[in-house]
Amino acid sequence: MTRPSTEDLDRIVALAHADPHRVLGPHLEDGRLRLRVFRPAASAVWIRWGEEDAESAQPMMRLHAGGIFELHCDVDELPDPKAYRVELRDGPTASLSHDPYAFWPTLGDLDVHLMGEGKHRLLHHILGAHARVHQDVEGTAFAVWAPEAKRVSLVGDFNGWDGHSHAMRRLGSGVWEIFAPDVLEGALYKFEVWKSDGELIVKADPLGRQMQLRPSNATQVTVSRHPWDDAPWIERRAASEPSQRPMSIYEVHLGSWRHRDGPQQHADRPNWLGYRELADELVDYVADLGFTHIEIMPVMEHPFDGSWGYQVGGFYAPTSRYGTPDDFRALVDRCHQRDIGVIIDWVPAHFPKDAFALGRFDGTALYEHLDPRKGEHRQWGTYVFNYGRNEVRNFLIANALYWLDEFHVDGLRADAVASMLYLDYAAERPADWAPNEYGGRENLEAIAFLRELNDAVHERFPGALVIAEESTAWPGVTRGTATGGLGFDFKWNMGWMHDTLAYFAKDGVFRSYHHQLLTFGLLYAFSERFVLPLSHDEVVHLKKSLL
């Protein structure tokens, strides 16, 4: 390998190099080993080999005034990453760390290729943060998709939130990667993204599996240690047909179901019950009432309590309001031990515009559609996913599979499906929406996405449910994809709900004149496989209680 040019060194200092590993770390050049590190705040840097003491450490020479240091060694092979550490001295104390630029990539070419094709069903295994041992050194592998970024750095509580320490390298398909040695479970981190226009933005990890409690929004390195005890339930579920099982669902919002007694302990949160407390109280309550399933309103991390979770900021993270991811696993496990299935509300239709989240992630319309007529839901003030982009479909389908796999949930209720199916959904003027390639209002990309989603779930998780909240008369919602349907297992019967509640809201004296509200549903009752809901939407916005 030839020595880096002055331009390469300048780009490292300016944090503008897309492959800092090509310059920094150990390299064989002209038959000699050269070690380079970038420490702009250091006045001097040493390399300590093996378990040698400080006196035997070798000083590095300054190669660039911006903070690049170099050491020449008379050896003709690359050292293992564990063979040396970088030493910084501050008076009598010294800090030692392994070199993040001494490690091979943690992602393979096949992983990157499958992601670009939109076919990597285990996306959470390659992107995000994964504590692991890599080349015999303990640390965490980080990877993020940001194809239009000029540079991405890992920042966190382990490097003073400074983007100089862990600039990432760009792999194929717009993926940026780095292995951060000595960064362990519990570390807080974000990604510092340098947009194409030179502006720096800081983003939470789209595949972060644990996040801080709002209003903080950093992502946290987490490791699962939950010992599952629900194998008999999973086996019975896989051997049965969902439409042939009795099903009575208890819908619940975990934050409002029940609070702890006594004064509020924290000013920034009510006395919520945690996941493990809910496992003790909620599960018994639901079992005693005879329900077969619990449907949990969105448990994914979200910044605003008032959204109930329907404006998701962390699609891969159970909300930290009630505990850790393993605490949520314990709740699901307890449900299964009591023969209660768990359905979670899942929100593939839109996401919020909060600066830390998915919106304009790399400075461009990445997860959302570039055309605001397709990429924004004006009524809700949110972005709409770009279902025509391979990586975005991959992100969502892998997310659905992640909850079924990692948390053993038994089903998903897809929220706001109607808003996905129609390009003119909630449009007030013709100029507010753009027709499809045939001039129609059907969102062909969303239709293809929903079919692919349902096929993937049913292929990988036999017996798992996918339920559509679809409020129109779209045909074939629960018909199989092979015969032109969307492939859902069930559809919420919103018409039955509205007609039934309208009937019972009338004075008993006048109900005899409105029996059509009860009989009309039979005209379409067998056109789909329906779930009859009494939804949370019917007890809000001044609609009063059902009781």
**DSSP E strands, 74-111:** 84-90, 93-97
489 is catalytic: no
* β-pair type (314-318, 300-301): antiparallel
Tell me which of 205, 469, 489, 499 is the catalytic residue: 469
DSSP per residue, 106-149: SS-HHHHHHHHHT--TTGGGTSEEEEEEETTEEEEEEEEE-TT-
Burial of 530 (0-12, 13-18, 19+ CB in 10 A): buried
**CB atoms near residue 190 (< 10 Å):** 21
Which amino acid would we find at residue 161?
Answer: W
Report the sign of the C-alpha dihedral through residues 387, 106, 408, 334, in that order. Answer: negative
CA distance 57 to 35: 14
If we measure between CA atoms, which residue out of 111, 109, 124, 106 comes closest to residue 396?
A: 124
CA distance 347 to 328: 18
CA distance 218 to 214: 9
Whether 415 and 382 have beta carbons less than 8 Å apart is answered as: no
CA distance 153 to 201: 11
CA distance 490 to 242: 9
**Residues 481, 483, 485: CA angle, nearest 5 degrees:** 50
Report the sign of the C-alpha dihedral through residues 44, 49, 51, 54, in that order. Answer: negative
Burial of 475 (0-12, 13-18, 19+ CB in 10 A): exposed
Tell me which of 205, 410, 415, 528 is the catalytic residue: 415
List the structure tokens of 521. 């549903």
Strand order in the sheet with 137-145: 128-134, 137-145, 175-181, 169-170
Length of the chain as a residue count: 547
Task: Give residue for tokens 């951060």.
Answer: 180
List the structure tokens of 84. 């040396």
469 is catalytic: yes
Maximum separation of any 2 CA atoms in the chain, in Å:
99
Which residues form the catalytic set? 415, 469
